[in-house]
């Protein structure tokens, strides 16, 4: 019988074992850094579109001014188009958003989809949760959407065929009934958790306690003693359920005992700055 080891050695030389293949990581981002301008994006439906050097989750952001009639939107550039199978099931779309409404009593636009992907294989849409939009009023907030079929609604075609060739990415950038200004920054598509940046916390100058609240009384306090102007409480459908104006003191207790238990968004306005905080009533 021929020796076995020489034969195995010969086979290993002729047919070497393929090296282990690491998962491919891909991140595509539009940070709108200085010198990038609009970063290849096109925008429509707005009164004006400008690069804002004073606002952003980074050096710059895009600022859109609302106008009556059309809904403002952004169209992603060529770098985002093509085969999206690398993102399928484990990818994420995220972007930073800030909204300032001309009238704090205005309610949400809830009928429009936030992102639309389309191509020869079909069209899919996804809508932001109202809680995410409310938390972006007056402060920066990060919206995130999973690139997985269960998160999206197919309007035509099928998911797999669509991801084979995505030719258009449309982002809605209008969220309020009435006039508002919207800031847009750091639109990214990635397939590795290590690629995602950390979501910063809300305005640290505002304390909201107790939260959760078993008594359904919420104390709102500005830590540096600045007077609060107005507070609003919204349910998750975007409906304002409490509103107090002309507070004039750095601390106020909001009585929510008439409201059912659940999660709400508290908006606090002081010296022209509007911030949002998630609160839970037990």
d(CA 140, CA 271): 17
Whether residues 141 and 251 share a domain: the answer is no
Number of domains in the chain: 2
275 confidence band (pLDDT: 50, 70, 90): confident
Whether residues 181 and 46 share a domain: the answer is yes
The domain that holds 244 is classified in CATH as: 2.60.40.3080
- State the DSSP code for 248: -
Per-residue pLDDT, averaged over 133-159, amounts to 93
d(CA 18, CA 251): 66
Whether residues 147 and 230 share a domain: the answer is no
Identify the domain boundary among 195, 226, 248. Answer: 195
Whether residues 89 and 170 share a domain: the answer is yes
Whether residues 165 and 129 share a domain: the answer is yes
Contact 160, 120 (CB under 8 A): no
Express each pLDDT in 179-198 by its tens digit.
999 999 999 998 864 444 44
Express each pLDDT in 190-240 by its tens digit.
886 444 444 444 567 889 999 999 999 999 999 889 899 989 888 887 777
Q: Is pLDDT larger for residue 49 or for residue 196?
A: 49
SS3 1: coil
Longest dimension (CA), the chain: 98
Whether residues 219 and 134 share a domain: the answer is no
Identify the domain boundary among 164, 195, 226. Answer: 195
Residue 102 has pLDDT above 90, yes or no: no
What are the backbone dihedrals phi and psi of residue 229, each rounded to the nearest 5 degrees, phi first?
-95, -60
Strands (E), 120-245: 122-126, 141-147, 153-157, 168-172, 180-190, 206-209, 217-222, 230-234, 240-244
Whether residues 124 and 253 share a domain: the answer is no
Whether residues 31 and 166 share a domain: the answer is yes
Q: Which pLDDT belongs to residue 272?
A: 63
Residue 150 has pLDDT above 60, yes or no: yes
Count other C-beta atoms under 10 Å from residue 87's C-beta: 20
Domain carrying residue 260: 206-281
Judged on CB neighbours under 10 Å (0-12, 13-18, 19+), 82 is middle
Angstrom CA distances, 180 to 19, 71, 84, 176, stand at 55, 11, 33, 7
Asked if the bond preceding 210 is cis, omega within 30° of 0, the reply is yes
Identify the domain boundary among 195, 224, 256. Answer: 195
Q: Is residue 88 part of a domain?
A: yes
Whether residues 113 and 162 share a domain: the answer is yes
The domain that holds 105 is classified in CATH as: 2.60.120.260
Whether residues 89 and 111 share a domain: the answer is yes
Whether residues 124 and 230 share a domain: the answer is no
Count other C-beta atoms under 10 Å from residue 280's C-beta: 14
Whether residues 273 and 221 share a domain: the answer is yes
Q: Which pLDDT belongs to residue 200?
A: 43
Residue 57 has pLDDT above 50, yes or no: yes
d(CA 151, CA 110): 17
Q: Is residue 143 part of a domain?
A: yes
Q: Which pLDDT belongs to residue 64?
A: 98
Contact 32, 51 (CB under 8 A): yes
**Centroid of chain to Cα 59:** 18
59 confidence band (pLDDT: 50, 70, 90): confident
């Amino acid at each position: 019988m021929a020796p076995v080891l020489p034969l195995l050695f010969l086979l290993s030389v002729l047919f070497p074992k393929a090296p282990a293949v690491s998962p491919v990581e891909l991140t595509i981002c539009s940070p709108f850094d200085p010198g990038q301008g609009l970063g290849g994006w096109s925008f429509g439906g707005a009164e004006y579109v400008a690069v804002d050097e004073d606002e952003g989750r980074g050096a710059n952001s895009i600022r859109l001014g609302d106008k009556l009639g059309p809904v403002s939107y952004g169209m992603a550039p060529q770098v985002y188009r093509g085969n999206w199978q690398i993102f399928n099931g484990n990818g994420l779309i995220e972007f930073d958003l800030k909204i300032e409404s001309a009238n704090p009593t205005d309610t949400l636009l809830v009928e429009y989809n936030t992102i639309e992907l389309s191509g020869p294989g079909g069209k899919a849409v996804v809508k932001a949760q109202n809680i995410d939009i409310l938390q972006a009023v007056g402060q920066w907030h990060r919206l995130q959407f999973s690139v997985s079929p269960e998160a999206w609604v197919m309007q035509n075609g099928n998911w797999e065929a669509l991801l084979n060739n995505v030719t258009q990415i449309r982002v809605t950038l209008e969220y309020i009934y009435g006039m508002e200004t919207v800031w847009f920054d750091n639109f990214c598509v990635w397939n590795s958790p290590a690629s995602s940046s950390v979501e910063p916390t809300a305005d640290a100058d505002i304390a909201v306690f107790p939260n959760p609240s078993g008594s359904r009384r919420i104390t709102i306090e500005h830590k540096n003693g600045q007077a609060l102007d107005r507070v609003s409480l919204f349910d998750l459908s975007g409906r304002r359920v409490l509103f107090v104006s002309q507070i004039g003191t750095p601390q106020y207790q909001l009585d929510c005992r008439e409201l059912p238990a659940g999660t709400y968004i508290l908006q606090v306005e002081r010296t022209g700055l509007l911030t949002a905080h998630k609160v839970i009533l037990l």
